[in-house]
Amino acid sequence: MKAIIQQEANGKLVVKDIEKPKPGKGEVLVKILASPINPSDLSLLEGSFGEMREYPIIPGIEASGIVVEAGSGLLPKMRLNKKVSCVTSGNGGTWAEYMITDAKKCIVVDDETDDFQAASFIVNPLTALAFIDIAKKYNHKAIVNNAAASNLGKMLINLANKNSIEIINIVRRNEQVESLKDFGAKYILNSSETDFGEKLKDLSHKLDAKLFFDAVGGKQTKTLLKSAPNGSEIIVYAKLDKNDIEIDPVDIIQKNKKISGFLLGNYMTEKNIFKTLIDISRVKKMLGNEISTNLNKTFSLEECNSAISYYQSNMSKGKVYFELK
């Protein structure tokens, strides 16, 4: 099979012919149909996402595909010949013609489900749903999200509106402000403006927004923390800024503010299987409506380095996929 290979962190991607793997106990072999490039994939390519992996690696975290071979166990047999949304279980990534993964990490979808929507069924939708659930659990009536022009950001806008939660959306370019206005967002701030911090402080205090979701990190986290009302929490879930997070300890010590982290895999692990199945059912019902992924462009595996460069320059214009058919 053909697979995208990375030999070292930050290394150039190459396509190689490698042996197609065999599924073991509890595993399935998925023939990949489509696989997106996510911000977490960029972190993986840099060697800063999740646990350290032994190189060379096949990148890619989620995909859609057909289960073409099942290992031993009831669940793998139940997945055989089904169309699925899936994520890697660490034994190989999704940017390949085939992938081995744990059968528990495959969600059966209807055959009619669009390959690209199915490929983006797990990471962004379940993350957006988790953010809303966290806000509701602690009775937050308003939240803040940066990188708001992304697919995840737009899902969050839809879900916040559905749940009567106000959302302050942070972007970094004027065209993104206009895009989110057209999308129906009510509160939009441009982080590139010189008075961004003051505007965020005024608006977050006015709406009593004390729950911040931070995909950027770096220096912006300090601005969020400084502008947030006393008692606020900044939840960091990505690192689009490659610089380390900077904070003023006074905000934490004297103003009862805190910073925590979010990783979808950890969040889902803390739930029991019953609650996880309920979340999956909720996403299925909203797929194509509140939960929808905008397709920007597709690439072949052989165009992998061009695909990464294009995605890095066009992250807010829709999702970029590897298409395999």
Q: Which residue range is the domain that position 72 belongs to?
A: 2-120+293-323
Distance between start and end Cα atoms, the chain: 13
CA dihedral 216, 219, 222, 224 (to 10 degrees): -40
Segment 129-134 shows an average pLDDT of: 96
- 3-state DSSP helix/strand/coil percent for the chain, to nearest 5? 35, 25, 40
- The bridge status of strand 27-36 relative to strand 62-70 is antiparallel
| Residues 156, 62 share a domain | no
> Which pLDDT does position 286 carry in this prediction?
85
DSSP per-residue codes, 171-237: ESSHHHHHHHHHHT-SEEEETTSTTHHHHHHHHHHHHT--EEEESS-HHHHHHHHHHSPTT-EEEE-
pLDDT tens figures, 141-158: 999 999 999 999 999 999
Residue 284 lies in a domain: no
| Residues 113, 34 share a domain | yes
Name the strand (E) or helix (H) holding 145: strand 142-146
- Residue 26 falls in which region: left (phi positive, over 0), alpha (psi -120 to 50) or beta: left
Residues contacting 146, CB < 8 A, separation 6+: 170, 171, 191, 213, 214, 215, 216, 220, 224
For the chain, the domain total comes to 2
CATH number at residue 67: 3.90.180.10
Stated pTM of the model: 0.89
Residue 84 lies in a domain: yes
Segment 33-44 shows an average pLDDT of: 92
> Which pLDDT does position 50 carry in this prediction?
59
| Residues 32, 108 share a domain | yes
CATH number at residue 258: 3.40.50.720
Give helix 123-137 / helix 151-162 axis angle, nearest 10°. 40
Question: What is the maximum span of the chain, computed from C-alpha positions, in angstroms?
Answer: 60
| Residues 58, 135 share a domain | no
* 214 in Cβ contact with 226 (< 8 Å): no
pLDDT tens figures, 58-113: 999 999 999 999 999 999 999 999 999 999 987 789 999 999 999 999 999 999 99
pLDDT tens figures, 265-310: 888 888 777 788 888 888 888 877 778 888 999 999 999 999 999 9
- The bridge status of strand 295-299 relative to strand 319-323 is parallel
